[in-house]
Structure 1
């Protein structure tokens, strides 16, 4: 009836314009924040890519790495953070380790690299900036990408991925080390082993003394690798299924033996 129809229509409410406007504004604000975050991430990645592309190689560009008076260098310190005496000492340590390093992969012919025979290789890179306005939250992320990129660039001629790069991001009283390792070390260096190396270097890093932190890191890393390679591998635990089958066979054999004796 008309009255009922009018009553039904009168009780039907359309959405308020105020609420609709709020929803639209909220949606626009969320989209704006997301676009800003994506743009910021993209810009920081681009800056970091630029820094990586400009970072020199110590044996191809020794002058840029401040290693002009050495024949074989494994360290690059473009900004001269380390005093020459400390850089020379760390370089000598790396030369000794790389000359006596054990083979971890392709042990019959890993001789294509300029300074190495068959052992793994280790290098050090020191940087003072990764990008502008680098926040603490994404510092580790960019440090990892930076280290991986430099390691692959420096040791591209290796016949297997057995290289190590120790990257130091120097900041006064807030320096940080990242160790980039090749896949050949996956079974030798556990996350626990790497954590112990970081912990050993942390006191020196906390005071900004990377000249002390780097030798600690290099020596401890070399010791951990040598120990992992010389420690006998424990046999895997026996498979429970195999022991179960053997148990069934043993019990069945005993029962059959008693049955044979009895009958």
Structure 2
């Protein structure tokens, strides 16, 4: 092969490598822009719902009677319509009290407390059960209203938190068609991927299908707490960015080809 042809081959290889890197960079930038726009839209919609319904739903520590928790010293459970029998409600509340008393700190670990109920600076978890979302519940929009209502209630309940590290298991009860939504504060965004939440929903679904809402809530609490604790354990450092390795690969290949060309010609 002549020198000019070899040089042409080198140029083509270099062009392909740099083209790949440029496409990779463009794709990453596009993903970041899309994610930012989506978060902005969701934040705007949630804010509107918070103003409309969040302040109308009682919390169990200020209004225990309205939440069907009279005489309870500490409560993180509100069942305004009395869906669950008292024994199940007591069991769920005890589980929440235990979890919140031993919860790990997620953010702002120098003085984060919730009212007079917090025993330490850890995250907080609560449960709310409703039979009505005060909206038209067609099949198409039930999930939408469930999520907006759940986010609004969580933000209202835990508005005093110095960082957004609250979790609310919001349950809409319908006979043999109940649905659970897990509303999480921003502090959990980097801890719990969507796959973790999907597995929690899947674990609770069999109980929902049989109408055992109390068991479904208990499973959700336990699985969510386990997922948070697992996510907070120290992990191995993440692998280096593929883009960095790509650049190093291009430099290495280019150096070898140019050196070979220089030695031969």
Contact 2:53/2:152, CA 8 A, preserved across alignment: no
Contact 1:51/1:130, CA 8 A, preserved across alignment: no
Aligned counterpart, 1:186: 189
Pairing 1:163–2:163 present: no
Q: Distance in 2 between matches of 1:56 and 1:121?
A: 17
The one-character-per-residue Cα deviations of 1:91-140 (angstroms, maximum 9, x if unpaired) are 00000001111111111221354322210000000000112541111000
CA 1:145–1:237 in structure 2 vs 1: closer, same or farther (change >3 Å)?
Answer: same
Contact 1:204/1:212, CA 8 A, preserved across alignment: yes
71-80 or 46-55, which deviates more: 46-55
The structural deviation recorded for 1:232 is 0.3
Give the superposed CA RMSD.
2.5
Higher RCO, Cα 8 Å, sep 6+: 2
CA 1:50–1:104 in structure 2 vs 1: closer, same or farther (change >3 Å)?
Answer: closer
The one-character-per-residue Cα deviations of 1:74-93 (angstroms, maximum 9, x if unpaired) are 00000000100100000000
Aligned counterpart, 1:81: 83
SS of aligned partner of 1:230: coil
Contact 1:109/1:118, CA 8 A, preserved across alignment: yes
CA 1:52–1:109 in structure 2 vs 1: closer, same or farther (change >3 Å)?
Answer: closer
2:66 is matched with which residue: 64, 72, 79?
64
The structural deviation recorded for 1:177 is 0.2
Pairing 1:200–2:219 present: no
SS of aligned partner of 2:140: helix
Mapping of residues 71-110 of structure 1, within 5 Å: 71-110=73-112
2:216 is matched with which residue: 185, 203, 213?
213
Unaligned runs of 5+ in 2: 1-47
The one-character-per-residue Cα deviations of 1:35-91 (angstroms, maximum 9, x if unpaired) are xxxxxxxxxxx9997654421111111110011121110000000001001000000
Q: Distance in 2 between matches of 1:198 and 1:176?
A: 9
SS of aligned partner of 2:93: helix
Contact 2:170/2:181, CA 8 A, preserved across alignment: yes
Q: TM-score, normalising length from structure 2?
A: 0.72
Q: TM-score, normalising length from structure 1?
A: 0.73
Mapping of residues 1-263 of structure 1, within 5 Å: 52-111=54-113, 113-116=115-118, 117-131=120-134, 133-238=136-241, 239-241=244-246, 243-244=248-249, 247=252
SS of aligned partner of 2:181: strand
Q: Distance in 2 between matches of 1:182 and 1:62?
A: 24
SS of aligned partner of 2:232: helix
Q: Distance in 1 between matches of 2:121 and 2:97?
A: 14
SS of aligned partner of 1:199: helix
Unaligned runs of 5+ in 1: 1-45
SS of aligned partner of 1:72: coil
